[in-house]
Amino acid sequence: MYDAGKVITGIVIFLVLITFPFWFNVASGNATYKPDPKIITPNEQCMADGEYMKRNHMDMLDEWRDLVVREGQRTFVAPDGKTYEMSLSNTCMKCHSNKADFCDQCHNYMAVYPYCWDCHIEPQETTYGYK
């Protein structure tokens, strides 16, 4: 092999960089960490089922915002016929008031930093700012 020193150095640098996720998680010790969003009001019924909410809650909140802010419509009729007030603070957070143990669990895990709290007042239990 010609220029073995340079070529092997290059290959080693490449391998170290490309395997970053492998050794990063070993170093951080979080390889088996799983988020654990806590439901603190297990007897209440959410307006949609959990699987749907897990994937689509952001779309629903987005839709609600447009309906409330731009069209002044405040009543939401759920698939099961019940009506709810379209409000993050008053409806959603009535049950899910534990932002740090509920919202932030998955959001931090997935590095999602929604801008809900740019306008809404954040629940008092947490300190302000991104973690």
Applying CB under 8 A, among 1, 17, 119, 121 the residue interacting with other proteins is: 1
Q: Which stretch binds other proteins (CB under 8 A): 24-32, 68-76, 83-91, 92-100?
A: 24-32
- HSE-up (13 A, CA, CB side) for residue 13: 6
**Which tokens belong to 60?**
């629903």
Of 54 and 82, which CB lies nearer to other proteins in the complex structure? 54
Site size for other proteins, by CB under 8 A?
A: 38
Q: Which stretch binds other proteins (CB under 8 A): 38-46, 79-87, 93-101, 112-120?
A: 112-120
Applying CB under 8 A, among 58, 69, 77, 78 the residue interacting with other proteins is: 58
Q: What is the full DSSP assignment across 98-109?
A: -TTTTHHHHHHH
Dihedral of CA atoms 44, 50, 54, 60 in degrees, nearest 10, equals -70
Dihedral of CA atoms 84, 66, 126, 92 in degrees, nearest 10, equals 10
**Side chain identity, residue 34:** K
Instruction: Provide, rounded to whole angstroms, the least separation between the CB of residue 110 and other proteins.
Output: 5
Of 63 and 85, which CB lies nearer to other proteins in the complex structure? 63
What part of residues 76-105 is at the interface with other proteins (CB under 8 A)? Answer: none
- In 3-state terms, what secondary structure has residue 84? strand
